[in-house]
Amino acid sequence: MKFSPGIIALLLIFSLVVRPVAGYAGSNTRLVPSGKVSVLHDGKEVSRFRSEMPLPQGILMACNGNCVVQSRDVQMVVHNKAVFALIEDDSQWDLTVNSGRVDFAVRDEGKPISFHTPHDLVQTQRIIVPAGSEGLLRGHIVVEAKTTELGVDQGAMQVLSRNGVDLIQEGHSIVLAQAEMSASPGEKSKDDPSDTGGLPPSAASAVAGPDFSTTWIAGLTALGIFGGAVALAADTHGRPVSPQ
């Protein structure tokens, strides 16, 4: 049986896009954009998409319009103009936010979240879900040029950061700022974000993982070249409910 060159090209693109999803076989997480999503590499747009699709693991993206991340235990709303990346593994979520706002809702039995920002790494240790809240903790993270705010809108959350352990009560937040550099002139501090393109080392490694990023960018770029000929997601029914 012979295949035309066009069919072979489409099959190749499909394999590039689908292969990273197998990296975490238990994941059924979807990314649902309301507008365009730009895929970023070295601060530049290398591709874009508009369709619902499986979550691109560890790829830095910018939303034009809100984006919804939907899974069984976690929902997120990535606000317009936010720059983010997300990795799900079998024990936790790693959410990188370079700028902008992300609202999140986590079920009481859900996996913890590590928040990677230009100012600090914050790790969830424990969540407290109030009665009558549908078993959800709701919160938000806002990253601006000089500060990061991590807040809880419903429930409470115990977190670990550079400042130690904090319990964020409902209606309260913690604010993180860039640590002062103590290195001598001409000597880079080990916390200097310039070594990782403005990201903390853990966030940079999450975004630039050897297995996920290059494959996704290649697949998404190829999709752009072929004018979106392949639908990135067939299931467009049943839009997820926003955490807010």
Q: What does the alpha-carbon distance between residue 72 and residue 244 come to, in Å, rounded to a whole number?
A: 16
How does pLDDT run along the chain (244 residues), one tens digit per residue? 554 544 433 343 343 344 333 334 446 899 999 999 999 999 899 999 999 999 999 999 999 999 999 999 999 999 999 999 999 998 999 999 999 999 999 998 889 999 999 999 999 999 999 887 788 999 999 999 999 999 999 999 999 998 899 999 999 999 998 764 333 344 443 444 444 444 333 334 334 333 444 444 545 544 443 333 333 333 434 444 445 4
The verdict on residue 242 lying in a domain is no
Structure tokens at 191: 């916390």
Q: What does the alpha-carbon distance between residue 50 and residue 43 come to, in Å, rounded to a whole number?
A: 20
Q: What does the alpha-carbon distance between residue 201 and residue 190 come to, in Å, rounded to a whole number?
A: 9
The verdict on residue 33 lying in a domain is yes
Structure tokens at 13: 């693109």
* Local structure of 52: helix, strand or coil: coil
Q: Structurally, how many domains does the chain consist of?
A: 1
Tell me the CATH number at 68. Answer: 2.60.120.1440
The pLDDT, as a whole number, for residue 109 is 87
The pLDDT, as a whole number, for residue 179 is 60
The pLDDT, as a whole number, for residue 186 is 44
- How do strand 67-70 and strand 36-41 relate by DSSP bridges? unpaired
The verdict on residue 240 lying in a domain is no
Query: For 63, phi and psi rounded to 5 degrees?
Result: -95, 135
The verdict on residue 191 lying in a domain is yes
Containing domain of residue 53, as a range?
A: 5-225
The pLDDT, as a whole number, for residue 105 is 96
Structure tokens at 175: 């604010």
The verdict on residue 232 lying in a domain is no
Q: What does the alpha-carbon distance between residue 200 and residue 119 come to, in Å, rounded to a whole number?
A: 8
The verdict on residue 36 lying in a domain is yes
State how far the alpha carbon of 213 is from the alpha carbons of 56, 65, 72, in Å.
Answer: 8, 23, 24
**Residues 6 or more apart from 59 whose CB is under 8 A from it?**
39, 85, 207, 212, 213, 216, 217
The verdict on residue 216 lying in a domain is yes
The verdict on residue 241 lying in a domain is no
The pLDDT, as a whole number, for residue 225 is 37
Q: What does the alpha-carbon distance between residue 117 and residue 98 come to, in Å, rounded to a whole number?
A: 6
